[in-house]
Amino acid sequence: MQALTQTEYLTILTHAPAEPLKLLADEIIPHLGTVVVLQNRTGLVMLPYTDTAKGARFHLGEVLVAEAHVRLENGIEGYAACVGRDLLQALAIALLDAALQSDLQLEIINAFIIEHQAAQQQADTELLQQVEATRIEMETF
């Protein structure tokens, strides 16, 4: 597997089920040393969208997110923002982000990411197949 970028692995982690994610974070916490929680809060962010007809950008509305920002004793910081109000989920992702950047517990975290990446790709494929089945081709006169 090619190494994932931070954006790619954070996307996978934010879409993973919350409970297994929290269990994984609990498992790696003892290996992280001292952790300082810089932020752990909920807030609203604007959801941008691009009009498919004219390409104009606009905001659909506000979305509630949970955000976490942590710093390990080695100075590495981890960050996460996920939809909803689950502060523990955001904190778990931020801890995993910091661990990955510090090369700590790589094997166990990467195994989790690979497993959930495959599951998410399978779900996306199934959804696209269902959408494709509803496609109608129209002829114009």
Q: What is the per-residue pLDDT for 101?
A: 96
* Euclidean distance between CA atoms 41 and 46, whole angstroms: 16
Q: What is the per-residue pLDDT for 120?
A: 81
Please calculate the CA angle 50-42-23 and round it to the nearest 5 degrees.
Answer: 105
Q: Give the dihedral sign, CA 51/56/57/61.
A: negative
Q: What is the per-residue pLDDT for 107?
A: 95
**If you average pLDDT over every residue of the chain, what do you get?**
92
pLDDT at 96 over 70: yes
Which tens digits make up the pLDDT trace of 62-84? 999 999 999 999 999 999 999 99
* Euclidean distance between CA atoms 123 and 69, whole angstroms: 29
pLDDT at 25 over 70: yes
Q: Which helix (H) or strand (E) holds 119?
A: helix 106-132
Which residues fall within 8 angstroms of residue 38, CB to CB, at 6 or more apart? Answer: 69, 70, 71, 77
Which of these ranges, 80-84, 85-89, 104-108, 115-119, has the smallest mean pLDDT? 115-119
Which tens digits make up the pLDDT trace of 30-57? 999 999 999 999 999 999 999 888 889 9
